[in-house]
């Protein structure tokens, strides 16, 4: 397969936060995750650096439909009539009618929506390749496989293409080789049990390189996955401990953020500031609080 190009989308003028991956299939370019519409100029510039244009895109493979991964997909399709989007079946209806996604995000980001993400345009269902996971197909010279990998989101996919494994957010946030991956756990549908199952699926695949949206490419090796699972348990344990002590969100979030950033600082002095931008700890705390609360409410489980 042709080399994979990592394009830094320079989110909010900050390098090393959101990446897109591009490779030539022999039947046009494939783009793994579009990023938000606010970063389209950076995507276009990144394509130019290896002699390509937006019009060369044919296959936009989305790992999931969160704004930082899929926000620009509809705008791209409006500008590239021959392109198609690949998306999980549980995400496809939201791309066709993104109003609920936009309304939900607006509750969090308010009047910052346009600055952070830009518009999210609806996508004609006829231009979607809807996947459930397990599909295998050939595009040009590239053999592609979609894998259902929930845990971070119920509509999450990973893509296995030759020696390359594109893991979206289920592979964690890793901003430097020295950093242990951390699980991004925003609401609404974090499921740590299913996340572990997804990791078990991915870690045994015959691939050489992992490509993360946050951020970059790393060897496919046990060290990555073991570190991710270890830190996922640590972060989840901090939140669970706070809940069991009867503390509220503000108190738990403050403590978890302090602990998390302290651990990151030990791995690299520049990591805490960049990590807060790539994966705001307070959002991860919200998702884990929701996870533990829902788990405690299920019959046969305890908090």
Local confidence band at 299 (pLDDT 50, 70, 90 cut-offs): low
Domain range for 140 is 5-221
Query: Cβ contacts of residue 74 below 8 Å, gap of 6+?
Result: 95, 98, 119, 120, 121, 122, 123
Paired residues of 8 in beta bridges: 19
Into how many domains does the chain fold?
A: 2
Q: What is the CATH number of the domain that holds 193?
A: 3.60.15.10
Kindly report, residue by residue over 141-190, the tens digit of the pLDDT. 999 999 999 999 999 999 999 999 999 999 999 999 999 999 999 998 89
On whether the CB atoms of residues 129 and 173 are closer than 8 A, the answer is: no
Kindly report, residue by residue over 56-90, the tens digit of the pLDDT. 999 999 999 999 999 999 999 999 999 999 999 99
Instruction: Please check whether residues 193 and 264 belong to one and the same domain.
Output: no
Tokens of 47: 């394509």
Does any domain span residue 155?
yes
Kindly report, residue by residue over 209-242, the tens digit of the pLDDT. 999 999 999 999 999 999 999 999 999 999 999 9
Question: In the predicted model, what is the mean pLDDT of residues 248-260?
Answer: 96
Nearest Cα to 148, choosing from 139, 140, 157?
157
Q: In the chain, what percentage of residues exceed pLDDT 70?
A: 98
Q: What is the value of pTM for the model shown?
A: 0.94
> How far apart, in Å, are the Cα atoms of 85 and each of 43, 65, 78, 250, 292?
16, 11, 12, 39, 34
Paired residues of 148 in beta bridges: 157
pLDDT of residue 298: 76
Given a cut of 60, whether residue 303 has pLDDT beyond it is no
- Give 4's DSSP letter: P
Kindly report, residue by residue over 2-61, the tens digit of the pLDDT. 689 999 999 989 999 999 999 999 999 999 999 999 999 999 999 999 999 999 999 999
Instruction: Please check whether residues 239 and 209 belong to one and the same domain.
Output: no
Instruction: Please check whether residues 133 and 257 belong to one and the same domain.
Output: no
Q: At which of 221, 247, 262 does a domain end?
A: 221
On whether the CB atoms of residues 61 and 86 are closer than 8 A, the answer is: yes
pLDDT of residue 101: 81
User: How remote is the C-alpha of 202 from its chain's centroid?
Assistant: 15
- For residue 252, the tally of other CB atoms under 10 A from its CB is 22
Kindly report, residue by residue over 85-134, the tens digit of the pLDDT. 999 999 999 999 988 888 878 877 777 877 888 888 999 999 999 999 99
Instruction: Please check whether residues 247 and 141 belong to one and the same domain.
Output: no
E strand or H helix at 159, and its extent? Answer: strand 157-161
d(CA 167, CA 156): 9
Does any domain span residue 206?
yes
Q: Is 277 exposed, middle or buried (0-12, 13-18, 19+ CB in 10 A)?
A: middle
Instruction: Please check whether residues 180 and 52 belong to one and the same domain.
Output: yes
């Amino acid at each position: 397969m042709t080399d994979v190009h990592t394009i830094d989308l320079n989110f909010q003028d900050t390098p090393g936060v959101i990446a897109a991956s591009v490779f030539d299939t022999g039947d046009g370019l494939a783009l793994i995750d579009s990023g938000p519409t606010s970063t389209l100029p950076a995507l276009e510039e990144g394509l130019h650096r290896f002699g390509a244009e937006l019009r060369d895109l044919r296959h936009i493979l989305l790992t999931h439909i969160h704004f930082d991964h899929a926000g620009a997909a509809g705008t791209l399709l409006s500008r590239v009539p021959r392109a198609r989007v690949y998306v999980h079946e549980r995400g496809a209806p939201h791309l066709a009618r993104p109003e609920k996604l936009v309304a939900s995000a607006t509750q969090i980001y308010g009047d910052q929506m346009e600055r952070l993400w830009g518009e999210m345009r609806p996508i004609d269902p006829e231009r979607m390749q809807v996947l459930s996971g397990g599909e295998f197909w050939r595009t040009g010279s590239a053999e592609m496989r979609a894998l259902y990998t929930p845990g971070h989101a119920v509509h999450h996919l990973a893509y296995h293409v030759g020696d390359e494994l594109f893991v979206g957010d289920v592979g964690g946030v890793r901003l430097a080789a020295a950093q242990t991956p951390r699980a991004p756990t925003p609401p609404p549908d974090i499921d740590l049990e299913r996340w572990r199952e997804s990791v078990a699926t991915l870690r045994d695949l015959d691939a050489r390189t992992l490509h993360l949206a946050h951020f970059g490419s790393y060897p496919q090796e046990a060290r990555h996955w073991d570190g991710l699972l270890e830190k996922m348990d640590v972060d989840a344990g901090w939140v669970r401990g706070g809940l069991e002590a009867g503390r509220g969100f503000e108190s738990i979030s403050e403590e978890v953020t302090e602990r998390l950033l302290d651990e990151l600082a030990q791995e690299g002095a520049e990591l805490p500031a960049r990590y807060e931008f790539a994966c705001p700890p307070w959002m991860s705390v919200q998702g884990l609080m929701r996870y533990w609360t829902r788990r405690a409410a299920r019959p046969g489980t305890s908090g």
